[in-house]
Structure 1
Amino acid sequence: MIRPKVSRLALIIGALLYTGCLCYAATFNTDFLAGESAKADLSRFYSTSELPAGRYDIDIYLNNDWKGRFDINIQNDGKDIYLFNEDLSRLGIKIDKNQLSESNLSKDEILLTKIIYEGTANLDVPKLSLHLVVPQAYVKNELKGYIDPAFWDRGIPGAMLSYNANYYHTQNRNKQNRDHENEDNVYVSLNSGLNLFGWQLRDQSSYHYTRSNGDKWSNNTRYLQRGISSINSELRIGDSYTSSDLFDSFRFRGINLKTDMRMYPDAWQGFSPIVRGVAQTNALVKITQNNVVIYQGNVPPGAFAIDTILPTGSGGDLLVEVTEADGRTNSFTVPFSSVPNMMKEGLGKYDISAGKTHIANSRYKPNFFQASYQYGFNNVLTGYTGTIISKDYYSLLLGSGFNLPIGAVSIDVSQSSAKFDNSPTMKGQSYKLAYSRYIPQTKTNFSLAAYRYSTKNYLTLIDAIDLHDWISNGYNQQYYSHQKNTFNINLNQNLGSGAGSLFLSGTFRDYWGTQNKSREYQMGYSNSLGKVNYSLTASRVRYNINETESKEEQRYYLMLSIPFELFGYPAYLTNNISVNESHYDNSNVGLSGSAGPSNRLNYHFNISDQKSGSTTTSANLTYKTSVSTLSSSYSQSTEYRQMGLGAIGSLVAYQGGILAANQVGETFAIIDAPGTANASVNGDKSMVTNNSGKLLIPYLSPYRKNAIMLDTSEVSEDAAELIGNIRDVAPYSGAITHIGFKTDQRKTFVFYAAQADGKPLPFGTEIVDSEGNSLGYVGQGSMVFLRAEKLPQQIYIRIGQLGEKSCTINDPQPEMGSTANICR
């Protein structure tokens, strides 16, 4: 693809030409100039003949929404812009094929003005962007947040290493524990990766050392992955974990292919109903939830279906109001509650894994196959199913989720069969019921209430593997314990403005094969008094001491948080008090806050008092640099003294070198703006380019538009000039995205010059070098402004529109007050 270089002159001309729409150029009123400058010929500044024709990569925005980077063809002195036919579907404009067939165009390209109807186009040449404003009637109804997969960026090859390293030295003052009087502890967590040919290799490992036990390396996951846009899925090969959507998650080595919901529009990422109705005229549809407008838009006469409602966490029925063109209004309600596994109507989700189990501390590692599928049949019903097949084991699950006026309900049934050596086959069932409901009248939210009952012979695959090891170790199968009943509830109650909120949560479990039970109930109240935030919590906990004994405790907590300013920076004073069985247990008083540029320094001081009479003091400091986050800690009590150091950061190697950052996420970017040191990104002063103009942006949202704006307001005066400071990217998950900014690294020279007769040079006169390359212009007061890598030995001043007159300055002197720069 041929893309002519856009010169500095072309950029200036283009900016003058395209400040409104594709229309006639503006002219400059020379009456504002005085003296010799009034005779200057400025026509070339608004002449379209100097805008280079050719093909360019341009960011196109439709009604302020970024549609991607397109290859466009600029012709006819910039008056005509052509798009390629293959890109039309990605633009999001409704195309009239009959109108296109009538147009006198090539078979591969179409004139932009043929498809924007009554709209306008604004070509911003310096920023290499094209802004289209098109009436909504001609724009496709695309879902919020969706970027066409053709514009997803797989990134560049590169390697990365994220580390979290901590060292602790402990001095034990307990005279009864002299064996560990001094202990050193080192823990390093490493997340590394390699991106190559669109594939991503990932590894999560850790190193642990203690003076008493030596060192140990361990690996958690190691896999190869790749996003597959054609089926909205992600493929993963290696050591990983199975999905926990329908079955318990476990570690395995093998292959996994699953739907990646992040590739879908925002409104499809979770359950939300499709709102259907009928409009008699051109009508306005407004949808509110819990007295908040979540959608508003115009619809034509006839049936309509709105599927762009974003999922909300709290739920709550939708009130739909349809206002006709003549003012008539009708309304109706659409139920909206959700439980896990519910899907939007018409949307399916699958997850397939196959390989060998790798469960910690288990010698038995059978091969297995696991598959699950969820599908939204309509606004009311979601169906889901799954199966696990392994050696001497299988499990089958069937379930449904319902969005009902009384709330969301899900019911599922599982059947399992497991066979063991010299033992009868164990077959059992498990039943689960879940409920979720938000009551707007009382502002009560049942976020989830779930109950599961499993028969004695029902086993998950993890249970079956554990029982296999149990029998292999010579234990009696009869005494193997596994879950029988499980109950969870979470309730939140908003008490209204200024009255605070209540919450209630509870968990209960009992088991087959043992008398052990565990349960925990919590109830709490939180509110604020002025700037003081406080909460009260009461809990009752039953836990197991051994196989036959258990203990119950009642615990009470009071927590206070008081925000204030310390030396002009935000700080918090906190106080936590704990009471156990009506007796004082412990209390903590803490001071935390931040300071320094961009709040890079964070601190926390704490004093803890125990019922035993011991007091512990601790201090923690962290400092965020541009390449790493450093930390230190110190704590002391009557029994021990501990000092610690830590560092968190990332290193990334690519073709352009090695860069360091605090810590990068799964998806990140490399900024490359040569010659612009100390430029910040998106207003964050803690993220600035290094001396080479490079920077790691630690986090990007995959499959979404990420706007990157480079701010050069604080770069040095001799820094390169940025040509366009905004870029938009939509990366694949796990990609290393390279974002290059064009810069002009030539130096700027400003000095006075005059004609041989002492008269000033005409304003706007062009300055060129010996090869005719444009270097700059003459400004007001005969001041010469030019940019070059180094000042030429000779510069030429062209006078007149066609440059019919010229003079030369030999060995120009860049000093501002020099009178030696005479043009002869």
Structure 2
Amino acid sequence: MKATVTLLAPTGYGKLFYLTCIILNCSAVSAAETFNTSLMVGYSSQADWNNHGQTILSGVYDLDIYINGSWSGNFPVKVDSGEAFWLAGATLKALPIKYIDKKAITKKEWVPVAEIVYGGQARLNRGMLRLDLTIPQARTDKKDRRWIAPELWDAGINGAFTNYSLSYNNLQRHNNDGDADNVFLSLSSGINLAHWQLVDNSQFQRTPRRQGEWNTQSRYVERALPAIHSLFRVGDSYTSSPWFDNIRFRGITLKQDQRMYPDSYRTYMPVIRGNATANAVVSVYQNGSAVYQTNVPPGPFVIDDLMPGGSRSDLTVEVANAGGLTERFTVPYSTISDMLRSGSSEWLLTAGNVQLRNVDLHPAFIQGNGSHGVNNYLTVYSGATLSHDYASFLLGGAFSLPRIGSFSTNVDMARARLNSGESMQGERWKLAYSRFFMTKTNLTLATYYYNTARYLSLYDAVQTNALAREENGRQYLRSKQSFSIILDQTLPPGWGRIAIDGLWRQYWNSDRMLKQYSLTYSNLYKKATWSLAFRRNHYEYDGSEEERRYSSKSYDEQRIDLAVTVPLSLSGNRHSVTLRTSSQDGKYSGMEAGVNSSLESLDYSLNFSHDRTGHSAKFGAYSAWRTPYAKLTGQYSEASDFCQLGIGASGSAVLWRNGVLASGNTGNTFVILDAPGIAQATVNGNPNMRTNRAGRVLVPSVTPYRMNTYLLDNPRGESEGELLGNIGRVTPWAGSINYVQYKTDTRAVFTVKALFDNGQPLPFGAGVTDAEGDSLGYVAQGSLIYLKAKQLPEWLNVQLAEGQEGKACRIHVANAAQTYFCVR
């Protein structure tokens, strides 16, 4: 069948239509940029200049994957001519995409991206090696922005580490009473091997009274269990229950590690639920300020990733639907330390033997507790401690009540049989209250504890049995009741703020009593800050020693402190002047004046003080120098009757397969950054954290289970190498030693002058390779060849364009000629 095409002369809107089609067609054609070689002369016009317009070659590439603009990880991606993409089945398990049968899909070797974007788009950025996926928000698994999937957590490498703090002080008395030396060393060390960590925390102290002794606080082996978001530990450590006494023990601990969860899981905020009648913008306000905003499709929505914003007032939610309808409702917000977000849980199991210091009793025990956020208003928790002749059970709850505040209450019922045969049974009650009032009064915490007369905790029972065995008449103090309160009031703008705190404590088997109260007013005048504090302490004793000292079994102390800090600005550095004065019991007590300064790597202070009690004046100086490998400190004080000199050093060190690295900072999770050949590069702009001559630097204080990003800044002229990518990322296990390597080019630069054998210059821009075909450089102006190689090769190939006589010519550079010839 013969096809017939008829051309019609366009008129009116037809002309506009045709013109639009021509423009669009030209635009499509020009998408692949080309270079007009007619602008070149000689052989240069025959070189291939259009390779930059080519699409990426088919193959498998490691690409950064971004979902709706958020980085999700670096994964292998199979690319087909830059237009079609496949992801490995195992990769999909780590991506935050909902409604995928991940168990079935991970069995496939490669999955087309088109099957998982639900009508969205996939776009490749070849220059950034980045694949952007646009997916409807309802299909994405919304996670905390800082949280990274467990599949991307890095367990680290084998190695050993230590954090150290060493100080030496020498005190010389002017009354010929001799001098005294004091040495203190604190070590927090560990060995990481096959995902297990051996940790030791010890101190050494030498004084005139102690001729040097080691004291081990804890020593244990632990391992993270990411599959159940938990931590397993065995050895000497301390219990960490929030409701029972913390005691030293030897045994095992299995506990949920909250650091493995998103921040929104670990912190209490109400879960907001609502319904949108159309595409809508949901905004959350607190004290009139927007703290959250998101777009939602029609239908029910849930906001469960809201984070605290500093204020503790109720939340106002506004749902602006696309049809013009706007709905508003209020979500009450009040919290206390025991509250958990709705749906969140926390648990802990401990078993072992009690290991109290200077106590020769080591009863076995088992302890466990757990809590769960039922909804926005209720969190329930319970726990138990079981041992030989001892048992206690705890039950409690935390409540967030609209317009009333937050309460937490629990009761611990304990029964103990002492070695003397006496049976003790009692309860410990706790009541805590917290509320933020609309007057900006913040009652942070008011806590009351009451122990009945025959209540004993496990710690109390062990101490009581131990003292009974000593038969020296000493008694263990058992708490009866205590009350503490912290109240903070923000005044109108310009009037400052007032803080009140108090503590009251009594004991059952002693007349001792403690009452402490303080009232502090603080304000800001221009750039200066000042505060005035009133403190009152009341002590009651039951011993004759205290009665002889104070001529009474009670003692009262009133103290007033005034402090003023004035910041100064000198050459862009941070300086301040501080003045403090105090009175005690209505009489002048002392004063202190000081100057503090912070430079790039040096902090120092000078101070002068006077003490009425000793009728003496004292001058002091302190300095701290932060180096890339250690923090060094020095201090000197002198008064009329003594002088004191002190020096110190602190930092951390890591032993790994390539040697030892040190840092002036401390931490228990480390990252080794390795940029071969890049010396003196700063990390994230920190001048005190630089790569060494080999291009390596130790970074302590890494945040575990979160993405840590490190930007290397390579100063010009400081190193021989070139960074091919200056951003490194790692998501480490807690306590691990991680290794991040940067791609660098450490080849040397060579220049070679070459011509064709007929004396004509080589084509400008032509590529140059070695005998194996590896690219080394190009031909620049004046037929000068620029090369980068470990060493200058014997033979060079210059790539010529199609149609030119011969596709390449060769240069033999073995001799020492000044000009070489390229022979075809």
Aligned pair 1:438/2:452, yes or no? no
Q: Is the 8 A contact 2:386 2:392 kept in 1?
A: yes
Relative to structure 2, which stretch is displaced further, 150-159 or 781-790? 781-790
Change (3 A) 1:209 1:689: same
Which residue in the other structure is 2:665 paired with? 663
Q: Provide the rounded CA distance (Å) in 2 between the counterparts of 1:435 and 1:383.
A: 16
Q: Provide the rounded CA distance (Å) in 2 between the counterparts of 1:90 and 1:746.
A: 37
Change (3 A) 1:639 1:760: same
Q: Is the 8 A contact 1:44 1:801 kept in 2?
A: no
2:147 counterpart SS class? coil
Amino acid corresponding to residue 370 of structure 1 in structure 2: Q
Change (3 A) 1:820 1:586: same
Deviation string, structure 1 residues 141-176 (Cα, Å, up to 9, x no partner)? 23332211111110111101121111111112246x
Change (3 A) 1:481 1:768: closer
Which residue in the other structure is 1:4 paired with? none
What is the CA distance between 1:677 and its match in structure 2? 1.0
Q: Provide the rounded CA distance (Å) in 2 between the counterparts of 1:712 and 1:61.
A: 27
Change (3 A) 1:45 1:281: closer
Which residue in the other structure is 2:6 paired with? none
Change (3 A) 1:119 1:145: same
Identity of aligned residues (%): 38
Report matched runs for 1:344-493 at 5 Å: 344-405=341-402, 406-439=404-437, 441-474=438-471, 480-493=476-489
Aligned pair 1:678/2:675, yes or no? no
What is the CA distance between 1:297 and its match in structure 2? 1.1
Deviation string, structure 1 residues 758-807 (Cα, Å, up to 9, x no partner)? 44321221111223222111234433221111112332212114883333
2:92 counterpart SS class? helix
Which residue in the other structure is 1:528 paired with? 524
Aligned pair 1:270/2:267, yes or no? yes
Q: Is the 8 A contact 2:44 2:766 kept in 1?
A: no
Q: Is the 8 A contact 1:676 1:715 kept in 2?
A: no
Q: Is the 8 A contact 2:567 2:576 kept in 1?
A: yes
Q: Provide the rounded CA distance (Å) in 2 between the counterparts of 1:173 and 1:367.
A: 54
Q: Is the 8 A contact 1:144 1:308 kept in 2?
A: no
Deviation string, structure 1 residues 722-765 (Cα, Å, up to 9, x no partner)? 22222222111111111011222211223544334444321221
Aligned pair 1:785/2:786, yes or no? yes
Q: Provide the rounded CA distance (Å) in 1 between the counterparts of 2:114 and 2:712.
A: 32
- 1:63 aligned to which of 47, 68, 74: 68
Q: Provide the rounded CA distance (Å) in 2 between the counterparts of 1:32 and 1:497.
A: 69
Which residue in the other structure is 1:639 paired with? 641
Report matched runs for 1:557-572 at 5 Å: 557-572=561-576
Q: Which runs of 5+ in 2 are unaligned?
A: 1-27, 548-552
Which residue in the other structure is 2:24 paired with? none
1:421 counterpart SS class? coil
Report runs of 4+ in structure 1 exceeding 4 Å deviation.
31-36, 94-98
- 1:225 aligned to which of 222, 226, 236: 222
Aligned pair 1:122/2:129, yes or no? no
Which residue in the other structure is 1:610 paired with? 611
Amino acid corresponding to residue 596 of structure 2 in structure 1: S
Which residue in the other structure is 2:317 paired with? 320
Deviation string, structure 1 residues 291-344 (Cα, Å, up to 9, x no partner)? 332211122223222111114555221111111222222211111111122111
Change (3 A) 1:715 1:136: farther
Q: Is the 8 A contact 2:463 2:476 kept in 1?
A: no
Q: Which runs of 5+ in 1 are unaligned?
A: 1-20
Relative to structure 2, which stretch is displaced further, 495-504 or 250-259? 495-504
Amino acid corresponding to residue 618 of structure 2 in structure 1: T
Q: Provide the rounded CA distance (Å) in 2 between the counterparts of 1:568 and 1:342.
A: 44
Q: TM-score, normalised by structure 1?
A: 0.90
Q: Provide the rounded CA distance (Å) in 2 between the counterparts of 1:185 and 1:802.
A: 85
Q: Provide the rounded CA distance (Å) in 1 between the counterparts of 2:596 and 2:753.
A: 58
Q: Provide the rounded CA distance (Å) in 1 between the counterparts of 2:580 and 2:241.
A: 35
Change (3 A) 1:500 1:813: farther
1:463 counterpart SS class? helix
What is the CA distance between 1:186 and its match in structure 2? 0.7
Q: Provide the rounded CA distance (Å) in 2 between the counterparts of 1:413 and 1:292.
A: 40
Which residue in the other structure is 1:8 paired with? none
Q: Is the 8 A contact 1:119 1:135 kept in 2?
A: no
Which residue in the other structure is 1:291 paired with? 288
Q: Is the 8 A contact 1:812 1:820 kept in 2?
A: no
What is the CA distance between 1:639 and its match in structure 2? 2.1
Amino acid corresponding to residue 543 of structure 1 in structure 2: Y
Q: Provide the rounded CA distance (Å) in 2 between the counterparts of 1:714 and 1:412.
A: 63
What is the CA distance between 1:467 and its match in structure 2? 1.1
Aligned pair 1:755/2:753, yes or no? no
What is the CA distance between 1:251 and its match in structure 2? 1.1
What is the CA distance between 1:280 and its match in structure 2? 2.1
Which residue in the other structure is 1:625 paired with? 627
Deviation string, structure 1 residues 193-238 (Cα, Å, up to 9, x no partner)? 0111111111001111124431101100111111111111111111
Change (3 A) 1:114 1:154: same
Amino acid corresponding to residue 271 of structure 1 in structure 2: Y
Q: Provide the rounded CA distance (Å) in 2 between the counterparts of 1:455 and 1:805.
A: 98
Change (3 A) 1:84 1:689: same
Relative to structure 2, which stretch is displaced further, 682-691 or 445-454? 682-691
Q: Is the 8 A contact 1:69 1:151 kept in 2?
A: no
Q: Is the 8 A contact 2:752 2:819 kept in 1?
A: no
Which residue in the other structure is 2:5 paired with? none
Change (3 A) 1:751 1:587: farther
Q: Provide the rounded CA distance (Å) in 1 between the counterparts of 2:107 and 2:244.
A: 56
Relative to structure 2, which stretch is displaced further, 643-652 or 25-34? 25-34
Q: Provide the rounded CA distance (Å) in 2 between the counterparts of 1:543 and 1:314.
A: 37
Change (3 A) 1:501 1:187: same
1:496 counterpart SS class? coil
Report matched runs for 1:491-510 at 5 Å: 491-510=487-506
1:464 counterpart SS class? helix
Q: Is the 8 A contact 1:201 1:224 kept in 2?
A: yes
1:90 counterpart SS class? coil
Aligned pair 1:40/2:36, yes or no? no
- 2:86 aligned to which of 82, 89, 103: 82
Which residue in the other structure is 2:78 paired with? 73
Which residue in the other structure is 2:12 paired with? none
What is the CA distance between 1:72 and its match in structure 2? 2.6
Relative to structure 2, which stretch is displaced further, 795-804 or 631-640? 795-804
Which residue in the other structure is 1:9 paired with? none
Amino acid corresponding to residue 81 of structure 1 in structure 2: F
1:91 counterpart SS class? coil
What is the CA distance between 1:257 and its match in structure 2? 0.7
Which residue in the other structure is 2:554 paired with? 550
Deviation string, structure 1 residues 691-739 (Cα, Å, up to 9, x no partner)? 11111111211111111222224453x6222222222221111111110
2:151 counterpart SS class? helix
What is the CA distance between 1:132 and its match in structure 2? 3.5
Change (3 A) 1:631 1:756: same
Deviation string, structure 1 residues 515-553 (Cα, Å, up to 9, x no partner)? 111011111111111111111111111234553612111
Change (3 A) 1:813 1:262: farther
Amino acid corresponding to residue 537 of structure 1 in structure 2: A
What is the CA distance between 1:455 and its match in structure 2? 0.8
Q: Provide the rounded CA distance (Å) in 2 between the counterparts of 1:472 and 1:802.
A: 103
Which residue in the other structure is 1:10 paired with? none
Which residue in the other structure is 2:22 paired with? none
Q: TM-score, normalised by structure 2?
A: 0.90
Amino acid corresponding to residue 67 of structure 1 in structure 2: S
Q: Provide the rounded CA distance (Å) in 2 between the counterparts of 1:756 and 1:692.
A: 44
